[in-house]
Homo-oligomer: A and B are copies of this chain.
């Protein structure tokens, strides 16, 4: 549990100075000494050589991005992986990071140790060094952590590069991530890096707010997407969710957030068979689905059912701070 049940397990029993020392110990090899690491007013970075530098920031908050059904380790790992997924979406390689911790006085020290164990393991897996941070207080019962992750990419793949006629691809399967995948996913770093070397890949992003919303981010206003619904890769979790919710399985695949899969477009002149065979050779365990193509804007809508030529009913994904 996030909150402490004994006085001595409360973070405020420790105080900021002792907590920062503990965090250093919990992070172990992921926490280099200052000035390349925690301990000075700023950390000194070594920018990438022969590549562009990229940067992203992402948050996990208790009650929003995880709850008591998620272990402290998995919550910590999720913070790192959410950011890694953004690096993957640019075709990048992760670099140093800084972490801001915002927590209530009643957060459990034991829980925090687990959280940082998850952070450390995920950082070690991907060679991320935590070079700086900040600790501050929130009201009781609250916990948020914000990671800012830098990285490098020889040729970063942007969202805004899709061209008319491009094929639209997604990795993995979609929907129902709330059941487990929202924290138990592997950021598609190797896949993103491989795609970044393909000149035929015109645009790329990671799916965090659902295909329905995210696909619109790579669609120029002059474009619409013609989608083959039979090709949408539906996860087992989406089917399980649909049974409970009574909503259509495709509704879950289009609108559930936190898939952390890659969405990209491929030049119309590419040989799909060759491309897909090449993919399968490199990533035999990762599904790849061509779900449609980009066509001129249509008055009926931005996402079009290719079979019936009607607008799809799913146009919204997950949106923070939305009451209606």
Contact = CB atoms under 8 A, between A and B. Distances in A.
Given A55-B98, A148-B98, A137 B42 contact: no
A114 interface: no
A98 B15 contact: no
A158 B34 contact: yes
A65 B144 contact: no
User: Oligomeric state, in number of copies?
Assistant: 2
A323 B12 CA distance: 5
A55 B131 CA distance: 9
A44 interface: yes
Interface string A288-324: 0000000000000000000000000000000111111
Interface stretch (A45-53, A115-123, A222-230): A45-53
Interface residues of A, number: 74
A156 B150 CA distance: 20
A103 to B, nearest CB: 7
A284 interface: no
B34 A56 contact: no
Nearest to A56: B42
A92 interface: yes
Interface stretch (A68-76, A83-91, A173-181, A272-280): A83-91
Interface string A14-41: 1111010000000000000011000111
A233 interface: no
A164 interface: no
Contacts of A59: 100, 102, 134, 136, 146
A61 B321 contact: no
Given A137-B321, A321-B14, A321-B135, A56 B43 contact: yes
Among all A-B residue pairs, the 5 with the closest Cβ atoms: A47-B47, A15-B322, A148-B148, A41-B89, A12-B323
19 contacts: A16-B322, A17-B319, A41-B56, A41-B86, A42-B86, A46-B53, A55-B131, A55-B148, A55-B150, A59-B102, A61-B102, A64-B136, A65-B136, A103-B321, A136-B320, A137-B320, A139-B142, A142-B142, A144-B144
